[in-house]
Every structure is written in structure tokens, then in C-alpha cells.
Amino acid sequence: MIRSLRRSLNRRRLRDEHYAHLFEPREDDEVVVLDTETTGLNPKKDTILSIGAVIIRDGRVLMSEAFERFIRPTKAISETSIKIHHLRACDLADAEAPDPVIRDLLDFISNRPIVGYYIGFDHAILSRYTRRLIGCALPNPTVELSSMYYRRYRKESSYAFVDLKFDTIMDALSLPQLGKHDALNDAIMSALIYLKLQTMPEYKGAYG
Amino acid sequence: MSFNDQKEFLREIVPFSELTETELNEAITAIEIGFYPQGIELITAGQPTDHLYLIIKGEVKAWSPEGELIRVYHAREGLDADAIIEGVSTARYEVTEDLICYELTATAFMKLFEGSEAFRDFYLLDVVERINYLKKRATDSDLSAFMVARVSDSYLHPPCILPPETPLVEGLRRSVAAKSSSMVIQRGGEYGIITDSDIKQWLASGTIDLEAPVASLARFPMIAVEADDFLFNVYLLLIQRNIKRVGVLREGELIGMLEQIDVLSYFANHSHLVTVKIEKAKTLDALREASLDYLNIVRKLYAQGVKARYIAKLVSEINRKVFVRLFEMILPEALQESCALIVMGSEGRGEQIIRTDQDNGLIIRDGIDIDPYRPYLDQLSETLVSFGYPACEGNIMVSNPYWSQSQSDYRQKIDRWIDTPEMESFMEFSIFFDSQCVAGDTSLLDALKTHLFARINTGNDVYMAHFAKLTTLFETPVGFFSTFLHRDREIDLKKAGIFPIVQGIRSLSLREEIHELSTVERIKKLSEAAVFDPDQAKELVEAFEVLFYLRLKQQLEALRSDATPTNTVTTDHLSKIQRDLLKDALQIVEQFKKFITRDFGLENLG
């Protein structure tokens, strides 16, 4: 109820009708798995440095249509972030301005649901860009991998703590690390997590 | 970025490693990542497949329509190229452990297949060629730092160059005068060749025409290399093409002929110094020092990519010289004339590269009392230990009275072995069967071998069969279609491959009365005797070489880190290429075991 209300509110804010299709419901079960690298961890202030995204169609990660773009930073990159993604300002000196990248990303995602690990963060930061660009927040529904994972793993550790660290999840699902952590690799690995979790039953509780 | 990671992954997989940058980039655009949970049928037998699956993680099993397990696929293996090429799959592929894989569309695969010769060859070559191909790569990549010798560093023979219209008889005259083993015919800017073995063949087939112009008989173009090519590559070329010589060009001009024998001696040259040192050693200490140098030679030769069996040959030559010197220095002269010092087992076959045990013994002429000489024999064994030949578990050495006995005692021993077919006697018999006299009176051993063959060949079929059955004593961990069956991380090369080949070949040699000792020589003789066909022989030699090479690699690495050399390799520590080599070799071993089982009728044996 509230969700649909918020959704129609968001729709009314859309300024560019070219993107009206983002609000259409999706007919097939395709999703986009997405990851961003940023200057820091504050979605209100920090900016995007790179975006990696892949489409999942018929149980396949479409590498041949993968999305990978880099954005020139307008503010300093925090030291903690550099340690994570190894992107320094000088690495991105020749990268693009944000607007064309975000527009292409919206075309790429279309009306597919967005899947990711702590996708709330990526969604929040991307919405800051889309609000400026097309007037509204990113309208696509999101799927949170860590909760998908939690719903399948809490049984084994009923009241205990379920470790939701990315690498822990990868290990627990015995998925391979494909190269280093960058936006596209993380998107691909997240896609594998998604595919694998989909084949596993959810835990409905002891009486469920 | 990520795309580079994908590329790196592909580059690791033969034959994608052979693609050009452009081809690889194109391949990347046609690749998706797939995930299939355990239990899914990936390819249906009798159906076409629209993808080549390259396993990133997981396991796939291939089943024949009759339900027989054909092959197990693991990471970095691709399936099923044949199904794409043939348009239909002959097997059923089932995911047996959650599968993550790259998927290359069949169309893109066929495009690579048609566009790249290296790629095509890989899928079409037969096993032997594939082994050579992989080995070439293995050596290429291991050795880059060592391949410094160039063709021009080796001795080049002056070519005997003839004008095209020269009559054959005149050409022969000139090549004999020039002491050349080949005639080179220059026609325009092109060279052709007639070799001595061509002449021999024409003579044998009666098709020789002495008046014919040489150009009409020669093979054009002659295989040639550049003067600044790496000598090592020429060595590989000679082996691959199975030729004895190549022409050497500089700026299109023939400057000389490079003979196989010279290439080999170039690589073996380092050994020369050691042998001189051994022969000149005046004290045991000097001898010991010289003999320990062998390890440096082995390292050098291995690094230069010389085949393990040639290294073995060289090492056994060195060892032989050491034995001779020790024999002369330690044993009293009176005894030297009345005995034969023999080396047995792998040392006897010339297949011991790294000193892992000493199997030796002494045959003493009848009527000589050995007891007064025992202290000298003890000294001989102890000295060998200090020279780095560890005392073997079985205590098979001259200090053990059981292995230093009179000739007639040995004769009785042989009879007893044959009359009591049980494990211990088989083992002792095997070791002795491979013996070689290194010093003293050779005829003492010759007579015993004659006796041995005579005993075997007088109705001892049952003994023979039990002896041959040892070939299948240990399991070879490989499936029907060349993949490690269980996911054995550790493979005992000796049990899985080397011993079965050695024992099987030993059994055949015993039956066919072949006197050669080295396994490769025995295989050649058996092939000549039509026990098996030349292709089978070639395959077996290649497999033996691979196993030998991998064991040597393992041993050298162990020695470098001060560990004890063993026979065990961990497949995880092997490169993809080496694992492929090993799989193919074990596959051949498995077939050979079946051959032995049939040939000796072992199915009916209790």
C-alpha cells in the first residue's frame, strides 16, 4: 500500500517521458545485478567512480552485454575506499562525466528489478543522480542478496549470528572469486550468488 | 579490468592460449557465464549442443548411452567440442557438483575453429601428437630463461650443395668426398635435400636410378632454420618431424647443416667435464666430490628441456664410471678378476636419475672363498652411501651376503625364484632380471642370464602369467576418457604409471627373450618383434617419458627445498598443461594394462 503510494508519487516526479518505461511492470524474470565503487560510504555526499552491471537471462549471466563504466571524480576519494577498490584519482583522470553514464545505465537496466549486495546503498546513491537527471528516484524494485541469503541460512544457526560478509557468503555457497574486487567482478559474483540462492529453498521457520 | 580477468582465465586454457589477441577479444564477446545446480543434464546424448562449456568451478560427468562413466570434467576443462564439431553429442553430460561455467556459443566456437590452425589442430590431433604439442608448450614456458643457446653456437657441417641437373651418381661421389650425410640441391632460391637414408630406401626398393638428375629425386623444400634460432627449438623440431638434420640459413643463404647428434651432444656437453674428473680422481674424496656434481648436470639438462630418458642415460653413464673407479680403488686385485659387480633394478635399466637407492650385488666365480673379502665389500657399500646412494630398504647391496654370492649360488637362487611364485621372489627376480655388469668379469652375469631365459622358456607359462599380473597390482587413477577419476590430489607416479609400464614391458621382454635393459629400448625391440604396433610403441614411450619427466621435476624441486624426493605429485601443484600431459599418459598406461591382461590371458588367473 505504502509502497505503491510511494511509487506513484515518484512517478509524478518524472520529468523525462523517455524513461516512463522504467515504471512498467516486468513481464519476464530477467534481473540486473549491479555494483558501484564510490568515493566513500555516505550516499548523501559521496560520488560514484565506477558501475558494473550484468543482466541475468534464463539462468545465464550475460557477459557479452556486460555494463562497465568509469566516472571522473569531482571530490577527493577517501583513503578507506581507495584501499577497497584501488581506484585513485589519477586512474580516473580520463574517465567520463556522470550524466551520459547514468543515462546509458538507465537504458541498460530498463524496467528490470535490481539485485545487489547491500543494494540499498547503491540504490540511494544512484537515485541522487537520477533525481537531478530525470527528476525521480530510481524506480526499479530491488532485491537484497544478504537477506535472500539470511532467509536460507538462519535455520542452521537458529538464534545465532549469521555472518553476512560478502566473502563469507561466497565461501558458504562455495563460489569462486573471479579476479579482484571491482564493480563488474563484484556484479558478476553477486549474480552467481543470486543464481545459486534461487536454487535453494527458503527456511520458513520450524512450523512453517 | 574485469574483461582482462576473463581473458586471463581463457588464456590459461589450451587451446584458447593459442589464440591471437584479436581472436581472444572476439571470443570474449561471445561468452556468457552459466550456473547449473547439481543434477541438471547439460547435454543430452544424441542431441546437438549450442555451447562449449568451460568449467570455472564444479564437476560434470559424461555417461555413454550404455550408462558407462566415460569422463569426469573439472575446472578449466571444456566440453564438449566434439559434439559441436560433429553436430551431435555421443554422450550424456550431467552436472554432478554445482557448475559455474563460461559458455561460448557454438557459432563463435566454429568461427575460432575455422580461423585458427592451432585451435583446430588441438581438437583434431591424436593423443601422441597432442602430448608432444603440450610438452612443447610446457618446456617452452618453463625454460625461457635458459634457452640461450643459438643454432650458430653449435657445430655446423659444411653442406654438399649440388646444381639441380647433377646425375645422382655424381652427387653421391661428391657427398662421399665431402663426408656429408646428405646432398643439398639448389634450384633457384630454393633448397631441396636427399639424405643417406633416402638412398638406402631406394636401394632396398630397387627404384634407384643413378643417372637421374638430383632435382627430380630431392624433397623440396628442405626443412631449414635460421642461424639465430634457439637451438632448443631446433631440437624440438627434429623430434616433432622425426628428422635427423635441418639446413641452417642466414639471410636466405644456406650456411651449414645441423645434425641431430650435434644438437644432443651440445646439450650433453656439460657432462664431459664430470666424467673427466671422475676418471682422474685419485682419492675417494676427490671421486665423491666429482660424482656429486651429477646433480648440477641433471639440473642443467632438465632446465634445457632435454628429455628425461636422455638425462637418465647420461646419469647412468656417470654412475657406471663411479662404480668402476670404486671397484678398482676398494676391491683387492685378486678379487677384481674373479667377480662381477652388478647394478640391478632401475640402476640396471639406466632409469635412476636422482639417487634413491642402491641396488647392487656381486657375482663371485665358483671356488673363490669370499669371506676374507667381506670387509672390502662392506667398505664399498658404505662408500656408496657417502656418495649419496642411500642404502635401500631391501638391503640389496654387496655388503649383504645374500647379494654377494658365488655364481652357482646365484643359479640356485634363480631356480628358487621361479619355483616359488610369490611376491618376494617376483620382486627379487625382477630386480635381478634388470641387472647389468658394471665392472669385473661380465661373462659371470651373461651365463646366469642365459640360464634364466632357458628356465623361463621351458613350460613356465603359469609363472610368466603371475609375473605379468604384477603390472595391474596398483590402480591407475584415470577414467576411460582421460580424466582423473577420483579427485586425487596426490598421485604416486611410480605406482600409477611408471611401475605398470616397467613391469609390463619387463614381462614381455622376459617372454620374448629380449636382452635390452632400458624400458624404452625394450619397447623398441618389442615393436620390432611385432608384439605391438609402432603407434602403440610410440604412445607408450611418450607416456613413460611424461611420467619420468614429472617425477624428475618433483624430485628436483624436493631437493631444492631439502626435502626427500618421493614419487608423489600433487596435481594442484602442476600447471594445467602438465596435468593434461599426466592425464593422457595415465590413460595410455591404463590401455597398456588391458593389453597385458589380454596378452597374458590374465582374466582366467585366480
Q: Are residues B446 and B481 in the same domain?
A: no
| Residue A164 is assigned to a structural domain of this protein | no
Q: Are residues B341 and B415 in the same domain?
A: yes
| Residue A91 is assigned to a structural domain of this protein | yes
Q: Are residues B182 and B258 in the same domain?
A: yes
Where in the sequence is the domain holding B382, given as residue range(s)?
Answer: 308-453
**Beta-carbon separation of A64 and B31 below 8 A:** yes
| Residue B288 is assigned to a structural domain of this protein | no
B591 pLDDT higher than 70: yes
Boundary residue ending a domain (B232, B265, B298): B265
| Residue B280 is assigned to a structural domain of this protein | no
Per DSSP, helices labelled H in chain A are: 2-13, 79-85, 98-109, 119-134, 145-153, 166-172, 183-198
Instruction: Please give, rounded to a whole number of angstroms, the shortest distance from the CA of A171 to a CA of chain B.
Output: 13
| Residue A181 is assigned to a structural domain of this protein | no
| Residue A193 is assigned to a structural domain of this protein | no
Residues of chain A found within 8 Å of residue B98, distances taken between Cβ atoms: 174, 196
Which residue of B29, B35, B76 to mutate against A (max A Cβ within 10 Å)?
A: B35
Task: Provide the 8-state DSSP code for B602.
Answer: G
Q: What is the CATH number of the domain that holds A64?
A: 3.30.420.10
Residues of chain B found within 8 Å of residue A192, distances taken between Cβ atoms: 33, 35, 100
**Beta-carbon separation of B103 and A60 below 8 A:** yes
Q: Look at chain B and report how many structural domains it folds into.
A: 4
**Of the ranges A116-120, A156-160, B339-343, B521-525, which one carries the lowest mean pLDDT score?**
A156-160
pLDDT band of B479, cuts 50, 70, 90: low
3-state secondary structure B222-236: CCEEECCCEHHHHHH
**Beta-carbon separation of B2 and A52 below 8 A:** yes
Residues of chain A found within 8 Å of residue B9, distances taken between Cβ atoms: 178
E strand or H helix at B569:
strand B568-570
Q: Give per-residue pLDDT as tens, B300-313.
A: 767 656 678 878 87
| Residue B115 is assigned to a structural domain of this protein | yes
Boundary residue ending a domain (B399, B426, B453): B453
A32 pLDDT higher than 90: yes
- pLDDT attached to residue A205: 56
Q: Give per-residue pLDDT as tens, A148-181.
A: 998 887 765 555 667 788 888 988 888 887 777 7
Instruction: Please give, rounded to a whole number of angstroms, the shortest distance from the CA of A123 to a CA of chain B.
Output: 22
Q: Are residues B474 and B523 in the same domain?
A: yes
- pLDDT attached to residue B146: 34
Q: What is the CATH number of the domain that holds B493?
A: 1.20.120
Residue of higher predicted confidence among B274 and B245? B245
Q: Look at chain A and report how many structural domains it folds into.
A: 1
**Tell me, what's the ipTM?**
0.79
Least Cα distance to B497 among B597, B600, B602, B590 occurs for: B590
Q: Are residues B505 and B369 in the same domain?
A: no
Least Cα distance to B167 among B217, B206, B219, B221 occurs for: B217
* Half-sphere CA count of A4, side-chain side, radius 13 A: 3
Chain A: residue nearest B55 by CA?
A: A176
Tell me if residue B581 falls in helix, strand or coil: helix
Q: Residue A24: phi, psi to the nearest 5?
A: -65, 145
**Beta-carbon separation of A192 and B100 below 8 A:** yes
- pLDDT attached to residue B6: 73
| Residue A74 is assigned to a structural domain of this protein | yes
B241 pLDDT higher than 80: no
| Residue A55 is assigned to a structural domain of this protein | yes
Q: Residue B415: phi, psi to the nearest 5?
A: -60, -45
CA gap B403, B363 in Å, rounded: 8
Q: Tell me the average pLDDT across B362-368.
A: 94
Q: Tell me the average pLDDT across A29-51.
A: 92
Q: Give percent above pLDDT 70 in chain B.
A: 88
Instruction: Please give, rounded to a whole number of angstroms, the shortest distance from the CA of B29 to a CA of chain A.
Output: 5
Where in the sequence is the domain holding A134, given as residue range(s)?
Answer: 2-146
Of B5, B35, B100, the CB nearest to A185: B5
Q: Give per-residue pLDDT as tens, B480-497.
A: 444 554 455 788 899 889
Q: Are residues B118 and B169 in the same domain?
A: no
CA gap B399, B397 in Å, rounded: 6
Q: Give percent above pLDDT 70 in chain A.
A: 93
If you count residue pairs, one on A and one on B, with CB atoms under 8 Å apart, how many are there?
Answer: 65
Task: Provide the 8-state DSSP code for B338.
Answer: T
Residues of chain A found within 8 Å of residue B1, distances taken between Cβ atoms: 68, 182, 184-185
E strand or H helix at B104:
strand B92-105
Least Cα distance to B338 among B327, B349, B329 occurs for: B327
Instruction: Please give, rounded to a whole number of angstroms, the shortest distance from the CA of A1 to a CA of chain B.
Output: 36
Using the Cα atoms of residue B395, residue B397, residue B398 and residue B404 in order, give the sign of their dihedral.
positive
Q: Are residues B164 and B253 in the same domain?
A: yes
Q: Are residues B392 and B493 in the same domain?
A: no
Q: Are residues B100 and B216 in the same domain?
A: no
| Residue B344 is assigned to a structural domain of this protein | yes
Q: Tell me the average pLDDT across B256-262.
A: 85
Q: Give per-residue pLDDT as tens, B399-446.
A: 999 999 999 999 999 999 988 878 888 889 999 999 999 999 999 999
Q: Are residues B83 and B169 in the same domain?
A: no
Q: Are residues B182 and B120 in the same domain?
A: no
**Beta-carbon separation of A59 and B35 below 8 A:** yes
- pLDDT attached to residue B534: 87
Question: Highest-confidence range of A90-104, B118-132, B553-567, B573-587, by mean pLDDT?
Answer: A90-104
- pLDDT attached to residue B547: 92
Q: Tell me the average pLDDT across B279-289.
A: 82
- Which residues from B are below 8 Å from A when comparing CB atoms? 1-6, 8-9, 28-37, 56-57, 98, 100, 102-103
| Residue B326 is assigned to a structural domain of this protein | yes
Per DSSP, helices labelled H in B561-600 are: 576-599
| Residue B412 is assigned to a structural domain of this protein | yes
Which residue of A49, A178, A181, A193 to mutate against B (max B Cβ within 10 Å)?
A: A178
| Residue A141 is assigned to a structural domain of this protein | yes
The rounded mean pLDDT for chain B is: 84
Q: Give per-residue pLDDT as tens, B30-77.
A: 888 889 998 999 999 888 888 999 988 888 998 888 777 777 788 778
Q: What is the CATH number of the domain that holds B421?
A: 3.30.460
| Residue B133 is assigned to a structural domain of this protein | no
Of B8, B32, B57, the CB nearest to A176: B57
CA gap B29, B418 in Å, rounded: 67
Q: What is the CATH number of the domain that holds B232?
A: 3.10.580.10
3-state secondary structure B45-79: CCCCCCEEEEEEEEEEEEECCCCCEEEEECCCCEE
Q: Give percent above pLDDT 90 in chain B.
A: 34
- pLDDT attached to residue B240: 64
- pLDDT attached to residue B141: 41
| Residue A184 is assigned to a structural domain of this protein | no
CA gap B466, B579 in Å, rounded: 33
**Of the ranges B34-38, B242-246, B575-579, which one carries the lowest mean pLDDT score?**
B575-579
Q: Give per-residue pLDDT as tens, A85-117.
A: 778 888 888 899 999 999 999 999 999 999 999
Q: Are residues B352 and B433 in the same domain?
A: yes
